[in-house]
Amino acid sequence: MDWHGIFASRNDRMKASEIRELLKLLDQPDIISFAGGIPDPDLFPVQAFQEAFAQALSPEKQATALQYSVSEGYGPLRDWIVTEMARLEIPCTRDNVLITSGSQQALDYLGKLLLSPGDTALVGWPTYLGALGAFNAYEPRYDRLDPETNRSAQDYAEAAGAGRVKFAYMSVDFANPTGKTLGAGMRERVIDLADALDMAVIEDAAYQSLRYEGEPLAPVLAREIARKGDIDACRTLYCGSFSKTLAPGLRVGWVCGAREVISQLVLLKQAADLHSSTINQMAIATVAEAQFDVHVDKIKTAYRARRDRMLAALEAQMPEGVSWTRPEGGMFVWLTLPDGIRGDDLLARSLRTERVAFVPGHAFFADGSGANTIRLSFSSTDEATIDAGIARLGALISAVAAE
Q: Which CATH number fits the domain that encloses residue 340?
A: 3.90.1150.10
What does the alpha-carbon distance between residue 298 and residue 44 come to, in Å, rounded to a whole number? Answer: 10
Over residues 352-367, mean pLDDT: 94
CB 147 within 8 A of CB 169: no
Q: Look at residue 18 in the predicted model and tell me its pLDDT.
A: 58
What's residue 11's pLDDT?
72
- pLDDT tier at 149 (50, 70, 90 boundaries)? confident
Mean pLDDT of 159-179: 95
What CATH number is attached to the domain comprising 186? 3.40.640.10
Same-domain check for residues 375 and 304: yes
pLDDT at 23 over 60: no
**Residue finishing a domain among 242, 260, 291:** 291
User: Does residue 239 contact residue 107 with C-beta atoms inside 8 Å?
Assistant: yes
Q: Are residues 156 and 237 in the same domain?
A: yes
* 283/321 same-domain check: no
Please identify, among 250, 270, 291, the residue that sits at the C-terminal boundary of a domain.
Answer: 291
Provide the edge-to-edge strand list for the sheet that holds 359-360: 323-324, 332-336, 373-377, 359-360
Q: For the whole model, what pTM was predicted? A: 0.94
Whole-angstrom distance, CA of residue 220 vs CA of residue 262: 18
Kindly report, residue by residue over 266-287, the tens digit of the pLDDT.
Answer: 999 999 999 999 999 999 999 9
User: Are residues 196 and 250 located together in one domain of the fold?
Assistant: yes
Query: Is 325 found in the same domain as 262?
Result: no
Q: CA neighbours within 13 Å on the CB side: how many for 53?
A: 8
Q: Give the mean pLDDT of the chain.
A: 94
Q: Do residues 284 and 305 share a domain?
A: no
Indicate if 335 and 285 belong to the same structural domain. Answer: no
Q: Is 147 part of a structural domain of the chain?
A: yes
Q: Would you say residue 247 lies in a domain?
A: yes
Give domain status of residue 54, yes or no: no
In a domain, residue 281? The reply is: yes
Look at the chain and report how many structural domains it folds into.
2
Last residue of a domain, one of 291, 307, 326: 291
C-alpha–C-alpha distance, residues 340 and 326, integer Å: 23
Q: Please give the pLDDT value at position 107.
A: 98
Residue 52 placed within a domain:
no
* DSSP state letter for 64: H
Nearest C-alpha neighbor of 22 from the set 385, 395, 393, 348: 348
Average confidence (pLDDT) over 25-54: 91
Distances (CA, A) of 354 to 27, 332, 381, 392: 17, 21, 16, 6
The domain of 32 spans 3-45+293-402
274 shares a domain with 215: yes
Cα-based distances in Å from 83 to 77, 80, 86, 90, 92: 10, 5, 5, 9, 9
DSSP 215-248: -----HHHHHHHHHS-GGG--EEEEEESTTTT-G
